[in-house]
Amino acid sequence: MGSEQPILATDRLTLEPLRAEHAEPLVDVFADPELSRYYPGDLTRRENAEAMVRQRLAYSGPPELGHWAFVRDGAVIGLGHLRPSWELPDELPEIGWYLARAHGGRGLATEAARALLRYGLGELALDSVWALVHTDNTPSLRLAQRLGFLRVGSGIHYGDMWHHVHVALPGRTPGPPGTEGTSAP
């Protein structure tokens, strides 16, 4: 560890380290009422969504970890993170993903999250990667399952909201689409 946060590429996306120029489209992603319902604050209020993006821009953890903008055809369509958890003990590495609703249902969130997970477990050789998924967020729960996460419990996280706690371990992460039975490097 200790290197800079890389640009990650998939077949359809570029995951760019989060920068100020990504902020405005990400505010729009977070302000969507459908996404906002999984957060304790009302992100449909623009100032709350702006604060959420500012918080992510202010990340100051290990330089090889952080937040990535999901870019497709030059447009920012989502955000992901692989960083020390703000909720779990011992700064365990936590992954998260957010995709603009207009881009849902095409496997893009899975593609982006898979790239972050492979980077963490493969290139960084992390012992585990954790995910906290709101108990009502069925699409994200399914995504975690597709990525090979194991559900290990539930608890109140991120503003007094119930989340399932998942863990991904080396060798259990599915590869690209069509190779789901193989393990990650």
CATH of domain 8-168: 3.40.630.30
Residue keyed to tokens 């109140």: 156
Q: What residues contact 123, with CB distance under 8 A and at least 6 apart?
A: none
Report the C-alpha gap between 157 and 27 in whole angstroms: 22
In Å, what is the CA distance from 61 to each residue of 5, 71, 113?
A: 11, 23, 20
Helix (H) or strand (E) segment spanning residue 137: none
Q: Per residue of the chain (185 residues), what is the pLDDT tens digit? A: 568 999 999 999 999 999 999 999 999 998 888 877 777 778 888 999 999 999 999 999 999 999 999 999 999 999 999 999 999 999 999 999 999 999 999 999 999 999 999 999 999 999 999 999 999 999 999 999 999 999 999 998 987 789 999 999 998 655 554 433 333 33
The residues with which 68 forms a beta bridge, in sequence order, are 17, 80
**pLDDT score at 3:** 84
Distance CA 46, CA 23 (A): 12
Domain residue limits, the chain: 8-168
